[in-house]
Amino acid sequence: MIEALGLTKRRGGRALLDGVSLRVGAGEAVAVMGASGAGKTTLLRCLDGLERADAGTVRVGGDAFSPDAPDYDGAVARVRRRLGLVFQEWHLFPHLTVLENVALAPVHVAGRAPETAARDAQALLERVGIAARAGARPRELSGGEQQRAAIARALALAPEALLMDEPTSALDGERVESLVALLRGLCAEGLALLVVTHDEPFARALAHRVIMLRDGALIDHATRP
């Protein structure tokens, strides 16, 4: 579960987020839509602590942070251990293989033995369908393969919630369908998923709820049966 309560973020006198509150439960997929500049990516960055909100609280499971927390950095770090984030540009390390990209955080953040992390990383690559590309460098992958590698990396610390920024921006129709199937499978295993997107067909196909964000405020909810 991931929850935001009253998130507010202002920049240059403009409210990018204006008291945004939302909750994504375990096994639920929620899509956030809206025009460019509506605050969608800012919402993700505040949820992950990459940007410090001016007010509000973010909670994942039993951990939470707010901008006035006395141990803000420590609180953000604890929440991040429960969160996965897939950037729009994926940001794989170009000098590492796919397997090394996925195994990196378990070794350096979670302190797992390299052999264990490599075995777990291979299993994740099997799960997302690119195990055969484990030894490839990011530049040798297609866009869809890079995205799946980024998803595997985001899952490497077994997060409770996954955040994704415009996941279909570089994919064709067939790969979008494959992505929907993969993400639905992850939600079926209990993952909470929050996606920001301009792609309405993708949002409707994937999400249990679609939330509209306009000028930093939630304005509409639609529910998929």
How high is the pLDDT of residue 28?
96
With respect to residue 108, please indicate whether it lies within any of the assigned structural domains: yes
What is the distance between the alpha carbons of residues 57 and 37, in angstroms, rounded to a whole number? Answer: 22
Query: Which of 158, 186, 207 marks a domain boundary?
Result: 158
Look up the domain containing 70 and give its range.
1-82+160-225
With respect to residue 135, please indicate whether it lies within any of the assigned structural domains: yes
What is the distance between the alpha carbons of residues 126 and 147, in angstroms, rounded to a whole number? Answer: 14
With respect to residue 87, please indicate whether it lies within any of the assigned structural domains: no
Cα 93–161–74 angle (5° rounding)? 75
pLDDT in tens, 98-145: 999 999 999 998 899 999 999 999 999 998 989 999 999 999 998 889
With respect to residue 145, please indicate whether it lies within any of the assigned structural domains: yes
155 contact partners, CB below 8 Å, separation of at least 6? 84, 124, 127, 128, 162, 186
How does pLDDT run along the chain (225 residues), one tens digit per residue? Answer: 999 999 999 988 888 999 999 999 999 999 999 888 788 999 999 999 999 999 999 999 899 999 998 999 999 999 999 999 998 887 899 999 999 999 999 999 889 999 999 999 999 999 898 999 999 999 999 888 998 999 999 999 999 999 999 888 877 778 888 899 999 999 999 999 999 999 999 999 999 999 999 888 887 665 554
**Torsion region of 136: left, alpha or beta (phi above 0 gives left; psi -120 to 50 gives alpha):** beta
